[in-house]
């Protein structure tokens, strides 16, 4: 992220224009199509307020409160169109600096974007894959800890970790009876019983062992990603590069997608 005041101003101007476009489009949609009368009426009231705000900026002192008709809809449509054009021109004219201004921690949230993943190329695909592996194990651990549903593939991993925990518990119990002077047969039997108890869910505290195993797996994948990113390119910079390529594409669909992604990821923390 740069420290240039000029770049920050361009960055903010883009988001201001997109905020205006988003607000106008949402209110217009609700006022025109929402079947719920209360939502529709509130949208109309908000549209009037919005039009009054914009009219003041345009030199009009005040619009009547009941002035919701074709004229005001046309006016708001013009404002929406102007905001659309303004945001597009700001981004296309300052693409490099605006994308560079996106905070790194926000960019990392694009890892789950299908649109971005489809456009990552070459060795960057390998880096993104390593990053996603790391984050998937972090998310997996969190799901398991909260008792949320897990997938079939995740269940297989849990099964493997339970088996490791079962063997560990069995070995501990075998060592215990060995120290108490029991025979090797008793030690083996104790080991087998402990293993079976874990595998059949009779040992309730095994969850901590599984969580510990998941944490180790996540840490291994994190280190693997960090090594790859150090040797190649961190995912955040891959996403920056991808957004710039999309935003400079002559295809309007690519540009629109880049514009929406920049806006969405830039506003991410504002929703929290």
Cα separation, 112 vs 122, whole angstroms: 18
Q: Which two tokens stand for residue 26?
A: 């949402």
pTM over 0.75: no
The ranges assigned to domains in the chain are 5-101, 124-231
Three-state SS string across the chain, please? CCCCHHHHHHHHHHHHHHHHHHHHHHHHHHHHHCCCHHHHHHHHHHHHHHHHHHHHHCCCCCCCCCCCCHHHHHHHHHHHHHHHHHHHHHHHHCHHHHHHHCCHHHHHHHHHCHHHHHHCCCCHHHHHHHHHHHHHHHHHHHHHHHCCCCCHHHHHHHHHHHHHHHHHHHHHHHHHHHHCCCCHHHHHHHHHHHHHHHHCCCCCCHHHHHHHHHHHHHHHHHHHHHHHHHHCCCHHHHHHHHHHHHHCCCCHHHHHHHHHHHHHHHCHHHHC
Cα separation, 36 vs 46, whole angstroms: 15
As a whole-number percent, the residues of the chain with pLDDT over 70 amount to 81
Q: What is the pLDDT of residues 179-208, one digit of tens each?
A: 777 677 776 776 677 667 666 655 555 777
**Once rounded to an integer, what is the mean pLDDT over residues 50-57?**
67
Per-residue pLDDT band at 231 (split at 50, 70, 90): very high
Per-residue pLDDT band at 78 (split at 50, 70, 90): confident
Cα separation, 200 vs 266, whole angstroms: 48
**Once rounded to an integer, what is the mean pLDDT over residues 248-254?**
91
**Mean pLDDT, all residues of the chain:** 82
């Amino acid at each position: 992220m740069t420290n240039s005041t000029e770049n920050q101003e361009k960055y903010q101007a883009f988001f201001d224009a997109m905020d205006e476009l988003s607000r106008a489009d949402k209110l217009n949609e609700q006022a025109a199509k929402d079947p719920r009368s209360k939502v529709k009426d509130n949208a109309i009231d908000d549209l009037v307020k919005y039009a009054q705000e914009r009219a003041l900026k345009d030199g009009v002192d005040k619009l009547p409160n009941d002035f919701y008709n074709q004229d005001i809809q046309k006016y708001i449509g013009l404002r929406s169109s102007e905001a659309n054009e303004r945001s597009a021109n700001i981004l296309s004219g300052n693409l490099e600096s605006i994308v560079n201004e996106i905070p790194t921690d926000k960019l990392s949230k694009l890892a789950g974007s299908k649109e971005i993943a489809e456009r990552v190329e070459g060795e960057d695909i390998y880096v993104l894959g390593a990053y996603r592996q790391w984050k998937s194990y972090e998310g997996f651990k969190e799901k398991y800890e909260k008792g949320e549903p897990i997938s079939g593939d995740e269940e297989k991993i849990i099964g493997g970790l339970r088996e490791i925990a079962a063997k560990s518990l069995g070995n501990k119990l075998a060592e215990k009876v060995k120290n108490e002077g029991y025979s090797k047969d008793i030690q083996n039997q104790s080991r087998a019983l402990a293993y079976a108890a874990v595998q059949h869910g009779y040992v309730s505290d095994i969850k901590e062992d599984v969580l510990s195993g998941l944490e180790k797996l996540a840490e291994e994948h994190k280190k693997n990603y960090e090594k790859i990113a150090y040797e190649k390119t961190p995912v955040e910079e891959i996403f920056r590069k991808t957004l710039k390529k999309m935003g400079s594409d002559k295809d309007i669909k690519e540009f629109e997608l880049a514009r929406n992604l920049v806006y969405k990821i830039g506003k991410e923390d504002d929703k929290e």
